[in-house]
Amino acid sequence: MRDFEYLPTKTIKEACSLISQYKEEGKILAGGQSLITLLRQKLISPSYLIDIKGISELNYITFDEKNGLRMGALTTHRAIEKSPIIQKKYNVLSEMEKSVASVQTRNWGTIGGNLCSADPIGDPAPSLIALSAKIKIVSSRGGKTIPLDEFFTDYFTTLLEPDEILTEIQLPSPVAHTGVVYMKFSTIEAGIKIVSTSISITLESDRRTCKDAKIVMSAVAPVPFNAKKAGNLMAGKKINDDLIAEAAQLASEETNPTPDVHASAEFRREIANVLVKRAIKQAFEKAKIA
């Protein structure tokens, strides 16, 4: 690891001012569960490390029916996993968090840091996108809120400018008759994932017709993405096995997998097809009773 100046901060304002001063020479440190490894491997070597983990105003979970859920970027994975309101209203998130890395990593790692590290196999992004998450980004120049879906631009790359900080994740209130699931496939439990998907199905009041479907895929392209063609295919139609098979096929055609030591591109695409099929079925069942 190369040397760096360590700059701990206590407020968002302080952190914004420091990162606007150092820009590319600086790097924001939250839980560091990816960053410390990158520093050690010298994949990045910032001159200034601006530690924001001590900013208590970025660590919160709030919910109300009108505005939905708000999570500070420094909320730990463990806090999301254990949050009673998330377990009740956004169960897919607490269940997903149970399988993020290990307890040790979840204890120290933050949701904001996870999203900013933009690992294409990251667990939280697909479910958050399926839940229509927005994120708040601030800098000393001001602030903006964008859909999480637009945040990732390439492998380990986001549209964050060098002086910007992600501060909040926002989820709308849960929609009636909606089931959301997250499913991943790896060759061993807790191993590197080959494919993952998060699906949100909203039904009409007849509980059979699909009103809206979001089919989010991850680990099968440089960034997690919403397979819109597949989702559009389902909207307005009665859900049955044929429709599910057709949507899964379309979704797998929208993937752009990279072969690596864990799986070939063909294998990933085939698994994507199978996994999406299973996940839609499960989301459909959940939506019927939601």
Partner 1 sequence: MEIAKKILKVKVNGRPYEMLIKPKTTLLQLLRNDLGLTGAKQACMDNSCGACTVIVDKMAVKACSVLALQVNGREVTTVEGLASRDGKLHPLQQTFLDFHAFQCGFCTPGKLMSAKAMLDENLHPNEEDIRRDMEGNLCRCTGYKQYIDAIKAVAQKKEGAK
Of residues 105 and 140, the one with the C-beta less far from partner 1: 105
Smallest distance, Å, CB 127 to partner 1?
19
Kindly state whether residue 107 participates in binding partner 1, applying the rule CB under 8 A. Answer: yes
Kindly state whether residue 262 participates in binding partner 1, applying the rule CB under 8 A. Answer: no
Of residues 52 and 166, the one with the C-beta less far from partner 1: 52
Among 4, 60, 63, 267, which residue sits at the site for partner 1 (rule: CB under 8 A)?
4
**Binding marks (x or -) toward partner 1, 187..226, rule CB under 8 A?**
--xx------------------------------------
Rounded to 10°, the helix 241-253/265-288 angle is: 140
Of residues 23 and 229, the one with the C-beta less far from partner 1: 23
Smallest distance, Å, CB 95 to partner 1?
12
Of residues 117 and 178, the one with the C-beta less far from partner 1: 117
3-state secondary structure of 171: strand
Of residues 104 and 145, the one with the C-beta less far from partner 1: 104
Kindly state whether residue 36 participates in binding partner 1, applying the rule CB under 8 A. Answer: yes
| Per-position b or e across 7-42, b if 16+ CB within 10 A of its CB | bebeebeebbebbbebeeebbbbbbbbbbeebbeee
Pairing label, strands 48-51, 5-8: parallel
Count Cβ atoms below 10 Å from residue 95 Cβ, excluding itself.
16
Q: How many CA atoms lie within 13 A of 226 on its CB side?
A: 19
Among 104, 145, 157, 240, which residue sits at the site for partner 1 (rule: CB under 8 A)?
104
Closest CA to 80 of 67, 59, 97: 97
Under 8 Å between Cβ of 108 and 131: no
Kindly state whether residue 144 participates in binding partner 1, applying the rule CB under 8 A. Answer: no
Separation of alpha carbons 153 and 206, rounded Å: 39
**Binding marks (x or -) toward partner 1, 54..83, rule CB under 8 A?**
------------------------x-----
Among 39, 71, 92, 272, which residue sits at the site for partner 1 (rule: CB under 8 A)?
39
Smallest distance, Å, CB 147 to partner 1?
30
* Residue range at the interface with partner 1 (CB under 8 A); choices 32-40, 154-162, 177-185, 223-231: 32-40
* Residue position matching structure tokens 């752009």: 256
55: left (phi over 0), alpha (psi -120 to 50) or beta: beta
Under 8 Å between Cβ of 96 and 127: yes
Separation of alpha carbons 75 and 92, rounded Å: 17
Residues at the interface with partner 1 (CB under 8 A): 1-6, 8, 29, 32-34, 36-37, 39-41, 47, 49, 51, 53, 78, 98, 101-105, 107-108, 189-190
